[in-house]
């Protein structure tokens, strides 16, 4: 049995009645059996876990002001203009479609312009707006509409999108969705996935429930249109994705409905200081004058990525990535250059980046202060090695879709 209204086993029906009694102090007129069953399904009808989840959710709604976010929260201008995504059409059962051209987002520019909490609250605003759409669609269709289809378009996704603060925020949003909007996802279509996508997916996957992971469909740069049209009528799907829909100006991407992102103008940027960062996550080291700091990483899996972020106090610093050609410690000139060393203004904005590593071996992230004979430099850094997801086969060739995940 699916655990949905009209398809309950005797045990599930009994659990629903018990659950309803246990949480009656939380219930509102809009909290019908469809709503209650979402929380039960999310915890496999475990009454204790389902109640704990719902009570935590009720507390979260008070803390975040989710009940009034549509009326009280004003989305910051830069977020409104550059945070990708938008509601565009409905599937064949009346469920809203959310399209996110995530490959076009400048998450670094956004987070250098507003607080992370502003972005997260915007996502709460979006989710609450979609629930209003579901209520309206329930009235229009005459049957319960409580799910959403999400399309992630990863065209132009690059290594810059592995920027740690942005990835951490995205994972936090996924976690929020799993805990506070359970069983509202019908399917996720990931399209135009690049070849390094397994690395990104391996970061995100731990935040997905098994039920959510089973709803993800991943495609390369072709053959996704036919899959989308199985669930979405052509007049509800943007022309850019194989449908016939355009927005009023005739844009095949429906940009009037779906924010396409783009580079955030630096006029929006706020000055970043060390005091504004979560320093518990950083390693702090003072590099002496005329000295350097080398951080070794052993890469065992091809197509892994090395990711870094650092900021310095007061002055610039040299930075480069190398591969050792011997097992013993080597000077920079004796190693193979991966990213040539150059001076960066890490005292103005945090410096960050990543690089894909094809060949296993020992790699060195090197912070260079050898050019400065008068000043020591204090640096705060995070360095990580990210391995690809090796559990799933990803077929991202242009000629064929990937397998479902």
Going by CATH, does the domain composed of 67-268 fall within 3.40.525.10? yes
Phi, psi torsion values for 96, nearest 5 degrees = -60, 150
Closest CA to 131 of 107, 98, 82, 85: 98
**How many other CB atoms are there within 10 angstroms of residue 32's CB atom?**
12
Q: From edge to edge, which strands make up the β-sheet containing 377-386? A: 283-287, 377-386, 304-312, 351-357
Where do the structural domains in the chain lie, given as residue ranges?
10-64, 67-268, 274-382
Check residues 69 and 389 and name the one with the higher pLDDT.
Answer: 69
Distances (CA, A) of 108 to 193, 265, 309: 20, 11, 12
Tell me the pLDDT tens digit for each residue of 177-210. Answer: 999 999 999 999 999 999 889 999 999 999 999 9
Residue 397: pLDDT over 70 = no
- Burial grade of 63 (CB within 10 A; 0-12, 13-18, 19 or more): exposed
Q: What size, in residues, is the chain?
A: 405
| Predicted model pTM | 0.79
**Per-residue confidence (pLDDT) for residue 314, from 0 to 100:** 84
| pLDDT bucket at 117, cuts 50 / 70 / 90 | confident
- Gyration radius of the chain over CA positions: 24
Residue 401: pLDDT over 60 = no
Asked whether 307 and 386 are in contact (CB, 8 A), the reply is: yes
**Per-residue confidence (pLDDT) for residue 191, from 0 to 100:** 98
CATH architecture of 274-382: Sandwich (2.60)
d(CA 189, CA 131): 20
Q: Could you tell me the fold of the domain covering 10-64?
A: Helicase, Ruva Protein; domain 3 (1.10.8)
**Per-residue confidence (pLDDT) for residue 276, from 0 to 100:** 59
Tell me the two tokens of residue 211: 């039920």
Name the CA dihedral angle for 367, 370, 372, 377, rounded to a multiple of 10 degrees: 30
Tell me the pLDDT tens digit for each residue of 27-67. Answer: 999 999 999 999 999 999 999 999 999 999 999 999 899 99
Residue 19: pLDDT over 50 = yes
d(CA 161, CA 159): 5
Tell me the pLDDT tens digit for each residue of 361-394. Answer: 999 999 999 999 999 999 999 999 998 876 554 4
Name the CA dihedral angle for 382, 385, 386, 391, rounded to a multiple of 10 degrees: -140
Among 155-169, 223-237, 387-401, name the most confident range.
223-237
Closest CA to 204 of 175, 227, 228: 175
């Amino acid at each position: 049995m699916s655990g949905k209204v009209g398809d309950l086993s005797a045990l599930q029906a009994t659990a629903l009645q018990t659950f309803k009694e246990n949480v009656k102090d939380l219930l509102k007129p809009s909290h019908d059996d469809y709503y209650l069953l979402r929380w039960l399904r999310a915890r496999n009808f475990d009454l204790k876990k389902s109640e704990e989840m719902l009570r935590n959710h009720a507390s979260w709604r008070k803390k975040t002001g989710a009940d009034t976010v549509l009326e009280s929260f004003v989305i910051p201008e830069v977020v409104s203009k550059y945070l990708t995504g938008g509601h565009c059409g409905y599937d064949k059962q009346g469920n809203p479609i959310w399209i996110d051209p995530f490959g076009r987002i400048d998450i670094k520019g956004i987070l250098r312009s507003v607080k992370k909490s502003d972005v997260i609250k915007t996502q709460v605003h979006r989710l609450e707006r979609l629930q209003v759409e579901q209520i309206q669609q329930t009235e229009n269709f005459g049957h319960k509409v409580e799910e959403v289809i999400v399309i992630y378009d990863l065209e132009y996704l690059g290594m810059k999108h592995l920027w740690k603060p942005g990835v951490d925020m995205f994972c936090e949003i996924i976690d929020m969705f799993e805990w506070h909007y359970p069983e509202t996802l019908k399917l996720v279509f990931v399209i135009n996935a690049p070849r390094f996508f397994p690395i990104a997916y391996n970061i995100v996957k731990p935040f997905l429930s098994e039920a959510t992971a089973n709803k993800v469909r991943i495609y390369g740069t072709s053959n996704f249109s036919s899959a989308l049209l199985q669930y979405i009528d052509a007049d509800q799907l943007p022309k850019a994705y194989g449908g016939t829909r355009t927005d009023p100006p005739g844009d095949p991407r429906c940009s009037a409905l779906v924010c396409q992102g783009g580079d955030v103008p630096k006029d929006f940027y706020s000055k970043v200081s060390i005091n504004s960062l979560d320093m518990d996550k950083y390693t702090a080291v003072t590099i002496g004058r005329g000295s350097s700091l080398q951080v070794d990483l052993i890469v065992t899996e091809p197509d892994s990525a090395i990711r870094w972020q650092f900021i310095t106090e007061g002055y610039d610093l040299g930075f480069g990535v190398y591969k050792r050609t011997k097992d013993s410690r080597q000077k920079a000139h004796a190693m193979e250059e991966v990213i040539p060393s150059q001076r960066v203004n890490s005292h103005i904005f945090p410096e960050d980046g990543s690089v894909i590593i094809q060949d296993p071996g020992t790699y060195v992230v090197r912070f260079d202060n050898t050019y400065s004979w008068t000043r020591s430099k204090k640096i705060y850094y995070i360095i990580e090695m990210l391995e690809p997801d090796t559990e799933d086969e990803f077929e991202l060739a242009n000629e064929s879709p990937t397998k479902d995940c």
